[in-house]
Structure formats: C-alpha cells, structure tokens
Amino acid sequence: KQEVTQIPAALSVPEGENLVLNCSFTDSAIYNLQWFRQDPGKGLTSLLLIQSSQREQTSGRLNASLDKSSGRSTLYIAASQPGDSATYLCAVRSNDYKLSFGAGTTVTVRA
Amino acid sequence: EPEVTQTPSHQVTQMGQEVILRCVPISNHLYFYWYRQILGQKVEFLVSFYNNEISEKSEIFDDQFSVERPDGSNFTLKIRSTKLEDSAMYFCASSLDVYEQYFGPGTRLTVT
C-alpha cells in the first residue's frame, strides 16, 4: 500500500523567502505525482504534475522535482507572497487508478 | 477553461437518510472518481469509474455507497443510510486518460 508523507506539517515564513516542501512515498512504482493547493474549506487546485519519466516540472514561481528511485519529490516556491498561504498536498498515482495523498504542508507567508 | 462542478456545495442530513451528491465532470473526460476528506485528515480515495462500471474501490466504499452515471453528463455518489462518520468533504474528479485528474470544488456533507 502506497504511503505518502509530507514534511514539515506547517511552515511560516516572511514574504519574499523561498519555500521548500517535501514529499516522500514508499512505493517507487508510480505513474506520476501531482502537487495541489487547498485553501481552507475549498477544493483542490492542481499546481504541477510530474510524470514518472520526468525529473522536474516548472510553472512560474513553482518548481517540482522528482526522484523516483528514492521516493521523493520537492516543491519549491520562489519569492513567496502572502497569497501563497494555503495547504499544499502531494499525491502519487501508482499502478492503479487512484491517487494517494499526503497530509499536506500548511504554509503561512507573513507580510 | 473547462472545470468539474459539484452540487450542492453543502448538504446537511439526518443520520439514516439517503443522500445523493452530484458532479458534472469535464465533458470529454472518460475516467471519474470520488474522494473524501474528513476534517483534519488526508484526502482518501473512494472509487473510480470507467466505461460505465467501477474500476476500483477502496475498503471505505462499502455496500452503503453506490455510483452512477445516469445520463452521460452527471456522475453521482449515493450514500444509502448516512452515519455520523460520513460527515466529510466529498470531491469528484475526472480525467481524460489515466494521468492528470481534475478536481471539483467539493460538497461538504454534514450528518446530524
């Protein structure tokens, strides 16, 4: 059974600092990995998807890396802004149809 | 940009009642999913649906749950006899292929 862990559980940084969010998974036989953003009481917004054959994916200030063999992914957010405050979820798709989610990292960016 | 929609946004029901949560997936998508998130917990997979049948379900998805695609556009989740522990946010998702899933805004179900 795929287990996904996210560290740290919470993070508070001043505006402008770079954010580093970590995700690890136990079974390296994955199809892809998705990073989501979740605002309080809201749905899931997909940020980046990395296929198992890729090493990284970039979108604007966001960069996600994937090391499949070691079961790790990292989400980097450059030059953080107060609007980046949210919970960030990592989800892994293994050799089946479902996504397995981590518990998330709750980010607070202080103005 | 096409998006997944869900209705209602919030449903309050009494224990033992049946509820139906509705989703309209992105129109050309072929794979459909339900997930749930109990307050403060991880998002959990419930069921996936393809070609008018369940392709996979979790141990949570027991006989009190059912899914249906009644008319080619809606995708529903029915809970036959709700329990207090069914209170959660329920997310519908769809995908064109087996790769990227697109999530709806969720339905918050409160069982009293």
pLDDT in tens, B31-53: 999 999 999 899 999 999 999 99
- Answer whether residue B86 shows pLDDT above 80: yes
Name the minimum distance, in Å, from the CA of B34 to any CA of chain A. Answer: 10
Q: Quote the tokens at residue B75.
A: 């995708």
- Answer whether residue B107 shows pLDDT above 80: yes
Low-confidence residues of chain A: pLDDT under 50 = none
Report residue A82: phi and psi, to 5°.
Answer: -55, -30
Sequence letter at residue B39: L
Q: For residue B2, name the pLDDT band (cuts at 50, 70, 90).
A: confident
Name the minimum distance, in Å, from the CA of A81 to any CA of chain B. Answer: 24
Residues 33-72 of A with CB under 8 A from B: 34, 36, 41-46, 49, 51
Q: What is the pLDDT of residue B17?
A: 97
Ranges of beta strands (E only) in A1-111 are 4-7, 10-14, 19-25, 30-38, 44-51, 56-59, 62-67, 72-77, 86-94, 99-101, 105-110
Are the Cβ atoms of B33 and A34 closer than 8 angstroms? Answer: no
Interface contacts A/B by beta carbons within 8 Å: 56
Which residue among B42, B99, B108 sits closest to A31, beta carbon to beta carbon? B99
CA dist., res. A64 & res. A50, Å (int): 8
By the 8 A CB rule, do A72 and A91 touch? no
B84 DSSP assignment? G
